[in-house]
Structure 1
Amino acid sequence: RQGLLDAVVIVSDGAGTLVAEDPALIQGIGGRMSGLVKTSPIPEVIARIEANGGVILDPDTAAIDQTAGVALAASSGHQRIAVTTASASEAAAIRDRFPEAVIVGVHLTGISREDAALFAGTADLITACASHHVREVAAKTALLQAGRSIPVFAMTGAGRAIILAKAGEADRPLVIHGARLPVEGSRSPAPFR
């Protein structure tokens, strides 16, 4: 909404990887299901996404390939592209091929310490989910933490700008306070170890 991004590469059940520009479409897809690793094409879902301006990477197979999704977004003329991924190696591949992409690590409960470290060095934003390793590793170099129970860590200036822009849209008072990260909440999940 604030012009920081012009396209997002996300995954939808029934459509796979897609490129979207409309914040309502992005929230409608991304806010409803987590941890999707495989899906099959559902023509009605694909039609609805396309009717709302989304572009499906492969409507015939509903493939999930975030690197190819960023390539599709770039070839469509988008320059400020964000992409979600649950794979540290995929995040690294995207960073190598598309250095300006805003990479968001999502659905990271249960990842290894090594993958947490790779995400911390590769992604712009990392959702901690219930991961002890993400909290421990990402917090060492994070520029900002949003939330306490399920924190999101900004690892780069681009990630920080996105969190601060979102905070600027808040319709309730916020506290911004310097602290040693991570700051845990009283309702944090018991992280996997």
Structure 2
Amino acid sequence: MSHEDEHIIEAIGRSRIVIRDGRVVEVGEAQIRDCPLARRFAYPIPDIRKESVKANIEHRIRAFGMCTPDREVLDNREFVGFGASEILSTALATGLLDAVVLACDGAGTVVVTKPALVQGIGGRMSGLVSTSPYLPVMDRIEQNGGFVLDREHAAMDQVAGVALAAEKGFRKIAVTVASPASAQVIREIHPDTLIFAVHVTGLSREEAETLVSSSDLVTTCASKTIRETAGPKALMQAGTAIPIFAITKKGKALLIEKIRCSDEQVLIKSTKLPALGDQQPNPLV
């Protein structure tokens, strides 16, 4: 049975959350108990239980209209130092990229060209599995220089999103990808695209290897297999609790650009990777 207004996201330890008509109607079990990033959320989650996950999602719905027609799509605030949206919006602002392909609740796959859109959409979004179309959200994205892949169904198709960006004349394209198969296809068809792997908790060893071999940048979430496969292959690592690994020189350039544009103090040193602190998600899955 399909619902006209339904969004499924996987958030906070890969809990499966269903939102209908602006209300959280289902929260699944999380795969992890503790996450150092979740403790630093705008609405913190000190321990990962169904009640605290539900409260966090309800806060996002109230705060910026997530999974509703009122969804805000612009933001300039940084939420984490080396988040995917922070890295990609910096690269867009400085000209390393000219378009980013993302998934947005209420719109599906979108192509965006403004840093504030990357941050507004991606900075507060968890792993989107499926969504329903909201014309006001799509209109706001397009009024701010973005393109919506499928206004009718809000389909999520990152391969088609990269093709749309290329068709619109963009050349320096980045895409966020959660599926190892999609990453492989994009790498084959659009070899120059910068692929940023996201939402990787729970991947098998084989899936992790496929994703890492096709990606330029990989976030680790609570994934044991990504830490084990991406770490030794990485040219650079940002962060220690939830590291981001640059697998290629192109990915490394984006991390270095993020550091260059930041006023934060940074330590740079040669070392064997992965370099993991004692603050990891628990358990790694």
Q: Which of the five TM-score ranges fits, normalised by the shorter chain?
A: over 0.9
SS of 1:36's partner is: strand
Q: Are 1:192 and 2:284 matched, yes or no? A: yes
Partner of residue 87, structure 1: 179
Asked if the contact 1:18/1:56 (under 8 Å) is kept, the reply is yes
Correspondence for 1:128 among 213, 216, 220: 220
- Shift of residue 179, structure 1, vs aligned partner: 1.3
Distance in 1 (alpha carbons) for counterparts of 2:209 and 2:220: 12
Partner of residue 237, structure 2: 145
Q: Aligned AA for 1:186?
A: D
Distance in 2 (alpha carbons) for counterparts of 1:142 and 1:172: 23
Q: Are 1:18 and 2:128 matched, yes or no? A: no
Distance in 2 (alpha carbons) for counterparts of 1:85 and 1:122: 10
Q: Aligned AA for 2:111?
A: V
Distance in 2 (alpha carbons) for counterparts of 1:48 and 1:115: 35
Distance in 1 (alpha carbons) for counterparts of 2:176 and 2:154: 16
- Shift of residue 186, structure 1, vs aligned partner: 2.9
Unpaired segments ≥5 residues, structure 2: 1-92
Asked if the contact 1:146/1:152 (under 8 Å) is kept, the reply is yes
Asked if the contact 1:57/1:72 (under 8 Å) is kept, the reply is yes
SS of 2:109's partner is: strand
Partner of residue 78, structure 1: 170
Deviations 1:37-58 (CA, angstroms, capped at 9, x unpaired): 1101011111111111110000
- Shift of residue 184, structure 1, vs aligned partner: 1.0
RMSD: 0.9
Distance in 2 (alpha carbons) for counterparts of 1:53 and 1:185: 40
Correspondence for 2:161 among 69, 90, 104: 69
Q: Are 1:109 and 2:109 matched, yes or no? A: no
Partner of residue 97, structure 1: 189
Question: Structure 1-normalised TM-score?
Answer: 0.98
Q: Are 1:49 and 2:141 matched, yes or no? A: yes
Asked if the contact 1:131/1:191 (under 8 Å) is kept, the reply is no
Correspondence for 2:262 among 150, 163, 170: 170
Q: Aligned AA for 1:60?
A: E
Asked if the contact 1:91/1:122 (under 8 Å) is kept, the reply is yes
- Shift of residue 36, structure 1, vs aligned partner: 0.2
Q: Aligned AA for 2:254?
A: I
Distance in 1 (alpha carbons) for counterparts of 2:256 and 2:227: 20
- Shift of residue 188, structure 1, vs aligned partner: 1.4
Change (3 A) 1:137 1:191: farther
Q: Aligned AA for 1:175?
A: L
Question: Structure 2-normalised TM-score?
Answer: 0.67
SS of 1:95's partner is: helix
Number of equivalences: 193
Correspondence for 1:159 among 251, 261, 271: 251
Asked if the contact 1:116/1:137 (under 8 Å) is kept, the reply is yes
Q: Aligned AA for 2:127?
A: G
Distance in 1 (alpha carbons) for counterparts of 2:272 and 2:105: 38
| Rg larger for | 2
